[in-house]
Amino acid sequence: MPPKNTGSLLDDAGGNNDYGTMLEIRSVQMLADGRSMVETWGTYRFRILEREVLDGYMVGRVERYLVPLRHLTGN
């Protein structure tokens, strides 16, 4: 079975965050009380091109975003 993916955004007050991280879902454990424990692995950053709400969930079209090297090295 191919890996399942989902995107994650930091929640800001205005809901205007345009960047996120694509997550590979590694495992899901259902707990007795109905909650679930989900293990993920960040695979790449993305930039949101379009977004909308569908059935109560934020969905959109994204593109991979390469973080400039200066952001990683502090230079």
* pLDDT at site 14: 62
* DSSP state string for 4-38: EEEEE----TTS---EEEEEEEEEEEE-TTS-EEE
Angle at 70 between CA 68 and CA 73, to 5 degrees: 120
Domain regions of the chain by residue span? 4-73
63 vs 12, more confident: 63
What predicted TM-score, i.e. pTM, was given to this entire model? 0.69
CATH 2.60.120.10, applies to 4-73: no
In this predicted model, what pLDDT tens digit does every residue of 18-75 receive, in sequence order?
888 999 999 999 999 999 999 999 999 999 999 888 998 888 899 999 877 666 665 5
Letter for the amino acid at 32? Answer: A
Distance from C-alpha of 75 to C-alpha of 65, rounded to nearest angstrom: 19
Closest CA to 40 of 63, 21, 16: 21
